[in-house]
Structure 1
Amino acid sequence: MSTNIRPRDALTAAGAELHEREGGAIELVVRGIPQSWVAADQTALRYPYTRWIGRMLDAVGRRDAPLRVLHLGAGALTLPRSVANRRPGSTQVVVESQRELCEAVLDRIPLRSDARDSIELVYGDARDVVEGADRGGVPLGGAFDGIVVDLWDAATVHARVASQEFYAAVARHLAPQGVLAVNLLDGDDFGYARAQAAALREVLPRVAVVGDGLGETGDRPPLGNVVLAASRLSVDRFLGDVTATRVVHGSALDSWIGNAEPATDLTATDSPSPDDPRFS
């Protein structure tokens, strides 16, 4: 720990808890919202959205080749731990704003030796980091094969890190052949996710939406994870092993986005609240 705050105190201050689960796994819960699941071997991906993103990263380059991956948002470092195991030799940068919470989690669930030396932790605001790196701020060290944007504050994705301008700053750090994956929260008519997909498409030409439901039957699905995948090249190659209720890309994406306007710094909103009566 770099401060005098004890791990248990840091968890309490953040409204966070670490719960032991079956099979020796540990789950991070923040203000009642499950955030991360770390398996006993630190490699398995339990939450569906982490499996979707993990399979997108698996599709980058050769299966046995190391990757450079940027993670915006740490949680319990579930995906970085998995990448370190699945792609030995990978180098990863993890950006996290809540240093004390992250260090408390690592005190309870240390990184394995295969990940410890290959994961760099950068503490700071994600938007400041991706924008400031080009202006003498934190150096991110070149382009990344994969970028994961998973910037939840309990159950909220804040507007500041969910706009066309933010995605443009992030995309500057993406390698030409790389994939950018964004974990969002939406349901009902998916108006929020549609505006996010429209914004991301203004930045990167190939976009896909992955989720359970996505409103294809006219029903109004409950709130849940929606993952956007984007690339400068064809996004299809990142979707082959993704198993979700629905994957929307290509010409179908135009219909799915409909008349939703891209979310910008002037128009972006926080993600929908789980307390919204639409999702009850």
Structure 2
Amino acid sequence: MSTPHHEVVAADRPDAWLVRVDGRDQSHVDLADPTHLAFDYVRRLGDVVDLHRPAGEPTRVVHVGGAGLTLPRYVAATRPGSWQVVLEPDEALTATVRELLPLPRRSGIRVRPTDGLTGVAALREDCADLVVLDAYAAGRVPAELVTRAFFAEVDRVLAPGGWFLLNLSDRAPFAATRDAVAGLRSVFARTLVAAEPATLRARRAGNLTVVAGPDDSLADALTARAAGGPLAARVLGHDRVSDSFGGGRGT
């Protein structure tokens, strides 16, 4: 297997940068303003973070996949003192990011050079308030990270009331997302899906934000935030997820 090629290039704002892996934009990092989340799916992940825990209140987050560490930087900036672990197996990429896009001092972000499956299995029970899966290899989420067995491990490390956030790239008829939803529903009580309307209407491929957890407490608030924000998104609550993303097999 060839080693992924990565680079850091200037973005569209002063002191903002794109991290690219094998020609694909993986992260947008704004060193001057880490609260600026340029990619729509990262903004949706940030919205879930905001709704789960008020700004200023430290939280505990496990990130499966790191790249430019955009979301960990956001959590560190909005919730100082948070405990964050990033599981990123590409040590060369992490070294480049640390050199060119250094983390602020005392960020509380710890990057472990391990894959998600191994890294999550090594975590203690009930250690995280949120687990975020945003890991890609050759443009796809590694298959071992979208199985019932892995979802059960995530559930083990989540504290009561915790949420599992997934960034899935897919297109209609959404076979991969349907399978992931089926697996999630075998472990978690409730799920929701948020995505751009054009993706849900089968007009183009896109990123779907899937959230799994114990209840429906986020659905209405996330819908209101998506409707009022600069990036259009539709949010499907648990019952509508059954209608739109049912029929998956899970693995």
- TM above 0.5, yes or no, is yes
Match of 1:229 in 2: 211
1:65 to 43, 57, 61: 57
1:34 to 8, 25, 29: 25
CA distance in 2, matches of 1:119, 1:254: 36
Tell me how far apart the structure 2 counterparts of residues 236 and 84 of structure 1 sit (CA, whole Å). 22
Output the CA distance in 2 between the equivalents of 1:258 and 1:51: 26
Q: 1:220 aligns with which of 199, 202, 205?
A: 202
Which residue identity lines up with residue 127 of structure 2 in the other structure? A
User: Residue in 2 aligned with 1:161?
Assistant: 145
**Percent identity for Structure 1 against Structure 2:** 31
SS of the counterpart of 1:83? helix
**Distance apart, 1:155 and its partner CA:** 1.3
The aligned counterpart of 2:120 is 130
State the Cα distance separating 1:234 from its structure 2 match: 2.5
Higher relative contact order (CA 8 A, sep 6+): 1
Q: Distance in 2 between matches of 1:125 and 1:15?
A: 18
Name the SS of the counterpart of 1:45 in structure 2. coil
Contact 1:185 1:225 in 2 (8 A): yes
Q: Does the CA contact (< 8 Å) of 2:125 and 2:156 recur in 1?
A: no
Deviation for aligned residue 1:32? 1.3
Q: Which residue of 2 aligns with 1:149?
A: 133
Write out per-residue CA displacement over residues 138-178 of structure 1, whole angstroms, 9 at most, x where no aligned residue.
x4574211110011114111211111211111121111122
**Structure 1: any 5+ residue segments left out of the alignment?**
1-11, 134-138, 265-280
Flag the 1:96–1:155 CA change in 2: closer, same or farther, 3 A.
same
- Relative to structure 1, the CA distance from residue 140 to residue 37 in structure 2 (aligned partners, 3 Å threshold; closer, same or farther) is farther
**Aligned counterpart, 1:278:** none
AA aligned to 1:253 is V
CA contact (8 A) 2:89 2:114 kept: yes
Q: Is the 8 A contact 2:196 2:233 kept in 1?
A: yes
Q: Trace 1:6-85 onto structure 2 (pairs within 5 A).
A: 13-22=3-12, 23-41=14-32, 42-85=34-77
Over alpha carbons, which structure has the higher Rg?
A: 1
Cα distance in 2 for residues equivalent to 1:152 and 1:13: 14
The equivalent of 1:204 in structure 2 is 188
Segment drifting more, 83-92 vs 205-214? 205-214
**1:251 matched residue in structure 2:** 239
**Distance (Å, rounded) in 2 between the aligned partners of 1:61 and 1:78:** 18
Q: TM-score, normalised by structure 1?
A: 0.80
Are the structure 2 counterparts of residues 51 and 168 from structure 1 closer, same or farther at C-alpha, using a change threshold of 3 Å? same
SS in structure 2 of the partner of residue 54 of structure 1: helix
Task: Determine whether 1:189 maps to 2:173.
Answer: yes
In the alignment of these two chains, the number of paired residues is: 242
Query: In structure 1, what is the Cα distance between the partners aligned to 2:20 and 2:64?
Result: 18
Distance in 2 between the 1:60 and 1:220 partners? 30
Instruction: Check conservation: 1:26, 1:39, Cα contact below 8 A.
Output: yes
